[in-house]
Structure 1
Amino acid sequence: MTFARRPLIVSPRYFSAGELIKRVQTADHIGVDEIWLEQQPDQRDATVFAAAYLNAAPTIRVGTAVLPVYGRHPVSMAQSAASLAEVSGGRYMLGLGFSHQFINEFVLGYKQGPPIRVMREYLSIVRELTTTGSVDWDGEVFTAHAQYTSPRLPVPFYLAALRPQMIRLAVEFCDGILLLLCSPRYIREHVMPAVHEACAEFGKSADEFRVLVNLPAYSGSEVAEHRAQWAKYVTSYRMLPYYRYVLDINGKHDPEVLSLIGSREEIQDRLGEYRTSGCVPVPQPIGASLDEFAQTVEDCFLD
């Protein structure tokens, strides 16, 4: 498998659809070869915009990071993933996540189950249907009896995973994991040991299992303002138990340690720290203008 050298996040949360397409095309022109986009409860459908991104940049791979599993039955998720893979010639990557109790129960109205059990059943169904075209599953959480008769291309799977049990599940079923708010030390001391242990258990190569971390990036003229906004964002994530757990283990770091907000030199130094920890840093440019976006992408990837 050939991995991307220049992965990027282009969030569909802000700007017009036309502006987002311009950013994707700008990233493509600079040399980005992989783009991820997230799904939030108050924003556009990430799978629809994944299709738009795939069409706008015909050689770039595009992935969702991540789609919450309670938002779609696994059969529906498999259908959309297989369809995106087909129309893009195999360039779509499916990133999934358990999400949070507030989203699952208050926003969507479900009674959430045990995370590992839910994700194991969900991944089993989606993988079986996208791989073989047929699934018969009567589980404790999900039921699925379906066929998919259209053409199928391989779909790489990624999982949002912060703790050892979920990382183990990801290694068993997926091609990589997706991280947020993780310091280089947390990745080096907690994530990578869990990855190596699980890879040994399941007979996989740790070198071929991708560990991707989302990092907001900005190198424009308003670094101080963006650092202050990022600090507030990090603080707000303490309300979510999964991220509070990670932030507590991270220790008393300045929020900027968890980002790529700064000068070109600072960004390059931080990228080096993350790569040395064993992961693949994925910048998410947060500048308001297209020029700031392009400058940040260049400062992240160009020599």
Structure 2
Amino acid sequence: MADIVDMGELRRRLGRTGVWLSSLAATPAARVREAAAEIEELGYATLWVGETPAGREAFTHAALLLSATGRLRVATGIANIYGRDPVAAANGAATLAEAWDQRFVLGLGVSHKPLVTSRGHDYSAPLEYMRDYLGAMDQATFGAPLAETPPRVLAALRRRMLELAARRAQGAHTYFVPPEHTAKARDLIGSAPVLAPEQAVVVETDAGRAREIAREYAALYLSLPNYTKNLRELGFSDDDFADGGSDRLIDAIVVWGEPETIAERIRAHHDAGADHVCVQPLADSVDTQLEHLRLLAPALLTA
């Protein structure tokens, strides 16, 4: 297997703005194919999808999306490293990259303690587990000749995982973060690695309704220590986490309003050092999310 990733080419392939959708994990396969094809047609370069115990397995989900498209890059945001051993992850990524013309990007992460212990795994040392996992991946072999190593990025929020992403992967995928975190992450990882934050958006101009939608989204993440510890380092406190999140916190994490207001937030991430921003429209159905992506495309794809 080749051991070089062209970082300039990786940035070009990812594009400046992509899409992050968790809803596809629970959507019928036929509709998933249609949605991926429409996202490609709209001009978004990369589609990110997550992995949860109740949703689709990350690698087969990626194959479903890749098979439905011709240019779209597909990235896992993230594939849980406790869900498969490192040789399976390395060979799965190589299979997808080889079969679909290097359109697959492997996003790996340690997930969260409740999701890992429920699978019967020990979550006492996730950073060390990730370090050992990457080492085992690097020792894996793959039979088919590859033009390049499938690129990988790590889900990372705080210093040590960001530093590991810079040393042992092609960069970092950050989630549930404001542009201030993007600037901090860029300072930590340096200029060479890719930095790809997720940005949740609400296409709604009424503040009360927009923040209601945003708080529904934020509820899960504000219950997980990985996210609250990171937010504390950015200056948020218990008062911000109470009652579904303060307006200050909600507005920092989720941007709402007209397309141009949303585009300004995407530009803020880019100005802070992001190479690629994956936009997650918050809505109650895939159909509505696609409607919002259509509305946002003219502003976002020039942001």
* TM-score interval for Structure 1 and Structure 2 normalised by the shorter chain: 0.7 to 0.9
Unaligned runs of 5+ in 1: 134-147, 197-205
The letter of the residue matching 1:6 is T
Partner of 1:195: 189
Query: TM-score, structure 2 length as denominator?
Result: 0.83
Query: TM-score, structure 1 length as denominator?
Result: 0.83
- Whether the 8 Å CA contact 2:73–2:105 is kept in 1: the answer is yes
Partner of 1:216: 200
> Cα gap change, 1:222/1:51 in structure 2, threshold over 3 Å: closer, same or farther?
farther
> Cα gap change, 1:47/1:223 in structure 2, threshold over 3 Å: closer, same or farther?
farther
Question: Is the partner of 1:121 in helix, strand or coil?
Answer: helix
Partner of 2:4: none
Give the number of aligned pairs. 274
Partner of 2:159: 164
The letter of the residue matching 1:227 is R
Q: What CA RMSD, in Å, does the superposition of the two structures yield over aligned residues?
A: 2.1
> Cα gap change, 1:193/1:97 in structure 2, threshold over 3 Å: closer, same or farther?
same
Offset at 1:46? Answer: 2.2
In the alignment, the residues of structure 2 paired with residue 228 and residue 264 of structure 1 have an alpha-carbon distance, to the nearest angstrom, of: 19
In the alignment, the residues of structure 1 paired with residue 62 and residue 208 of structure 2 have an alpha-carbon distance, to the nearest angstrom, of: 32
Higher RCO (CA 8 Å, separation ≥ 6 residues): 2
In the alignment, the residues of structure 2 paired with residue 113 and residue 249 of structure 1 have an alpha-carbon distance, to the nearest angstrom, of: 22
In the alignment, the residues of structure 1 paired with residue 107 and residue 299 of structure 2 have an alpha-carbon distance, to the nearest angstrom, of: 27
In the alignment, the residues of structure 2 paired with residue 33 and residue 86 of structure 1 have an alpha-carbon distance, to the nearest angstrom, of: 19
Partner of 1:141: none
Offset at 1:284? Answer: 1.5
The letter of the residue matching 2:128 is R
Question: Is the partner of 1:239 in helix, strand or coil?
Answer: coil
- Whether the 8 Å CA contact 1:231–1:256 is kept in 2: the answer is no
Partner of 2:71: 59
Which of 66, 80, 93 is 2:105 aligned to?
Answer: 93
Question: Is the partner of 1:182 in helix, strand or coil?
Answer: coil
The letter of the residue matching 1:156 is P
Which of 66, 74, 78 is 2:86 aligned to?
Answer: 74
> Cα gap change, 1:67/1:223 in structure 2, threshold over 3 Å: closer, same or farther?
farther
In the alignment, the residues of structure 2 paired with residue 226 and residue 40 of structure 1 have an alpha-carbon distance, to the nearest angstrom, of: 26
- Whether the 8 Å CA contact 1:286–1:293 is kept in 2: the answer is no
The letter of the residue matching 2:172 is I
In the alignment, the residues of structure 2 paired with residue 223 and residue 79 of structure 1 have an alpha-carbon distance, to the nearest angstrom, of: 47
- Whether the 8 Å CA contact 2:76–2:106 is kept in 1: the answer is yes
Could you list the structure 1 runs, at least 4 aligned residues long, displaced by more than 6 angstroms after superposition: none
Unaligned runs of 5+ in 2: 1-7, 241-247
> Cα gap change, 1:50/1:172 in structure 2, threshold over 3 Å: closer, same or farther?
same
In the alignment, the residues of structure 2 paired with residue 217 and residue 51 of structure 1 have an alpha-carbon distance, to the nearest angstrom, of: 27
Partner of 1:9: 20
Deviation larger for 73-82 or 252-261: 252-261
- Whether the 8 Å CA contact 1:184–1:273 is kept in 2: the answer is yes
Q: Percent identity?
A: 24
- Whether the 8 Å CA contact 2:177–2:199 is kept in 1: the answer is no
Partner of 2:5: none
In the alignment, the residues of structure 1 paired with residue 265 and residue 17 of structure 2 have an alpha-carbon distance, to the nearest angstrom, of: 15
In the alignment, the residues of structure 2 paired with residue 15 and residue 221 of structure 1 have an alpha-carbon distance, to the nearest angstrom, of: 28
Question: Is the partner of 1:13 in helix, strand or coil?
Answer: helix
Question: Is the partner of 2:222 in helix, strand or coil?
Answer: helix
Offset at 1:291? Answer: 2.7
- The residue correspondences of 1:42-191 to structure 2 (distance < 5 A) are 42-105=54-117, 107-129=118-140, 133=141, 148-152=142-146, 153-188=148-183, 190-191=184-185
